[in-house]
Amino acid sequence: MAENEQGGVNDRNQEFTKFLILTIASIVIMFVVFAAVNYVVMENLISQKISTLQMNSEEMSEDSGNDDEIQKGIIVDLGDFILNLCDENAKKYLKVNVAIEVSKKDTDFAETEPAKGGGHGHGEAAPAADPMAAIQAEMNQYKPAIRDAVITNLSSKTSAELATAAGKELSKEQIANDINSILGGEREVLRVSFGQFIIQ
């Protein structure tokens, strides 16, 4: 009888050992599978993040190049405007100062050799022409049409439309498009700026 009890204990010990080995093996296999899946997922995520960062850095470098171009424009002050707005119920007035920034041409600031004084024996060079004066003279020929485009655009708006930032930005876009059609491709409007902006 003692032998039967001893044999039963041994059988239970063997079964427990087998169960323990199977449990440990299952845990190890699950851990290896989990680690492999985790590695693959993390590898894909990291490669996606790297490609996204590379694309973003390329876009930022392109944008910074565009910002440099915008900063190199020439400012033309169009002066002050006092306009009636398109409000139906009450008369509203707008007082605004408008300036535009136009693109440069390659020839705007080209280095030119000053003309030598000839035949007088002094040998002094004549003063070089001011490139900004030439640009202002060029833009002055367009100023009446440009001012008319600004007046037409802003006077067609209501005070409610111009009271919002979005309304102001829309007007700036429309003014830039109108002026670009006036300039006919000789220069491009890079930016329209409102200085003083008062609605009464």
The model's pLDDT over 53-97, given as tens digits with 9 standing for 90+, comes to 777 767 766 655 555 444 467 888 888 999 888 888 888 889 999
pLDDT score at 69: 43
Looking at the domain assignment, is residue 122 inside a domain? no
17, 86: one domain: no
pLDDT band at 2 (very low <50, low <70, confident <90, very high): low
* Average of per-residue pLDDT across 192-199: 88
- Domain hosting 10: range is 1-71
pTM beyond 0.85 = no
Coil vs helix vs strand at 128: coil
pLDDT bin (cut points 50, 70, 90) of residue 124 is low
- Angle, CA 31 vertex, CA 25 and CA 34 arms, to 5°: 140
Task: For residues 24 and 105, state if they share a domain.
Answer: no
pLDDT recorded at residue 30: 93
In a domain, 121, yes or no: no
Phi, psi of 46 (to 5 degrees): -65, -45
pLDDT at 110: 60
Same domain, yes or no: 52 and 84: no
How distant is the alpha carbon of residue 110 from its chain centre? 30
Contact 108, 74 (CB under 8 A): yes
Does residue 100 share a domain with residue 175? yes
45 φ, ψ to 5°?
-65, -45
Tell me, yes or no, whether 185 and 152 share the same domain. Answer: yes
Tell me the C-alpha distance between 167 and 147, whole Å.
Answer: 19
Residue 115 lies in a domain: no
